[in-house]
A and B are shown apart, each in its own frame.
Chain A
């Protein structure tokens, strides 16, 4: 109840100022540009090497009665992954560093800005970053003939939602991190999601137990949502995936701002 009260009094100006800090970092020199740029390439390289390269060996694939090239099966998954990694890079590594080592948030919270405004501002920035990645990625997909322009436009807001969900999750996880060693743990988790969430092979090919386990994890829903739209075949399931991601985003921000308040306003 207290939290909903706080959220209802969010000041757009103060959230904007939190976002502005990251724009200030871009204005302050090349280092942050390099971080942003490098984050874009990983999913693109996977698309080219596995989607196109390995895809040439595999040929066509039939999932749920639809036949497609292996590259067009993998491409939407890499799109979802790029939304995920853009948002996660910002809300885990950068967020944790600002919170724990740079004491950035400590300085910010001495001003009228509240913890929840820090959380929302950082999340919006993470999504801006992720969305730049996915927009470029969608252009690449259309250019390569892996989706149609109209469906690419429809898939874009879905990637924003994916960014929101992983941004919220990442921030929540960051507030639980004890130190850098926990990041190795997280990277392993993130890599497992990347490999098994229906990204490179349909989850229906897995044993039932594994399939159910995967269906609980977030990247699976992100991939299915984005793939449905890129293929031009959204259904009721699409809505379900969107709902899952929305809940994750809200829960993540709520949890993170509470933890932030407890950590920095004791």
Chain B
């Protein structure tokens, strides 16, 4: 039982009328894992999260969470989930503390126990000094921390976080990551969506890249980079600016495994950056600036989902 995956999806589909948001995905998430959904807007991440959260009924396929059926056992599954939605839906009519106490009551906890947990969680997310104030004056980062505290009020086995740090400043993001990392160390399974690659690399043991409702790649951040990118990337800019890019890209053919001409620079995907630079010089190319960097998830992401803007 303990080794059974926490989430199992088989051929999961979600349609809204003619529009297919999730187009037959398979996945498994193990207990204690931090699992991420990566993808551009409209990739189907949030729809998948809502089905896992048992608020949205799958159109087709099988979805088992904590060993139970997502459609039949919704309330029993939700009793063991913590949900942090994309947009904060804290209750502005209630004080900070009352937001947590009231929420705990939905899980059938006694008033005394609800209060005890509320105080404990306010401490955990560093909001104890705002306990009796209203929600509205809180900063974005504080609201998000309160939402995460609210998601923890039932001591969940599984926490769902839909874009947990979108719109937060760097300090707030780092504080949040640190708190989520602590939860993970306590054995809580985390499932999150993000389109921040650094967030995925920081938090996720394993992730899937979604595009157009399908899973296009799956693995650990490291293994995805190894599979879909190279160890290093050389970024070259040229003095003639924007016009010559195509010509420069052609001249770079064969230097690396892949050459990606962008409007303002050329990316060359290589295993050894220094060797590649030597080859660039040998070919007599004279870039105005050179940057050798390690490959990131962002390279994988853009390679898999393309550079076209999705809205």
B87 at the interface (CB under 8 A from A): yes
The 0/1 profile, CB within 8 Å of A marked 1, for residues 252-265 of chain B is: 00000000000000
Quick check: is B11 within 8 A (CB to CB) of the other chain?
no
Partner-contacting stretch, out of B101-109, B205-213, B231-239: B101-109
A28 interfacial by beta-carbon distance below 8 Å: yes
Chain B's nearest CB lies how many Å from the CB of A42? 23
Q: Mark A242-266, 1 if CB is under 8 A from B, else 0.
A: 0000000000000000000000111
Given contacts A20-B102, A110-B53, A111-B103, contact A25 B78 (CB under 8 A): no
A71 CB to nearest B CB, Å:
38
Contact present for B106 and A17 (CB under 8 Å): yes
Q: Which residues of B contact A207 (CB under 8 A)?
A: none
How many inter-chain contacts with C-beta < 8 Å in the A-B complex? Answer: 82
Determine whether the beta carbon of A112 is less than 8 Å from that of B94.
no
Answer whether residue B89 sits at the interface, using C-beta atoms and an 8 A cutoff.
yes
A13 to B108, CA, bound (A): 6
The contact string, 1 if C-beta is below 8 Å from chain A, for chain B 29-60, is 00000000000000000000000010111000
Residues of B within 8 A of A102 (CB): 89, 91-93
Closest-CB distance, A29 to chain B (whole angstroms): 7
A241 within 8 Å of B (CB atoms): no
A108 contacts chain B at the CB level, 8 A cutoff: yes
> Does more than half of chain A's interface fall in helix, strand or loop, or is it mixed?
helix
> Any chain B CB within 8 A of the CB of A106?
yes
Interface string of B182-201 (1 = CB under 8 A from A): 00000000000000000000
Q: Within the assembled complex, what's the spacing in Å between the Cα atoms of A130 and B81?
A: 36
A106 to B89, CA, bound (A): 8
> Which residues of A from 12 to 45 have beta carbons under 8 Å from B?
13-14, 16-18, 20-21, 24-25, 27-29, 31-32
> Which residues of B are interface residues toward A (Cβ below 8 A)?
16, 53, 55-57, 74-76, 78-79, 81, 83, 85, 87, 89-95, 98, 101-103, 105-108, 134, 150, 154
Q: Which 7 A-B pairs have the closest CB atoms?
A: A103-B89, A111-B106, A17-B105, A112-B75, A110-B83, A25-B93, A107-B89
Chain A interface (Cβ < 8 Å from any Cβ of B): 11, 13-14, 16-18, 20-21, 24-25, 27-29, 31-32, 102-104, 106-114, 264-266
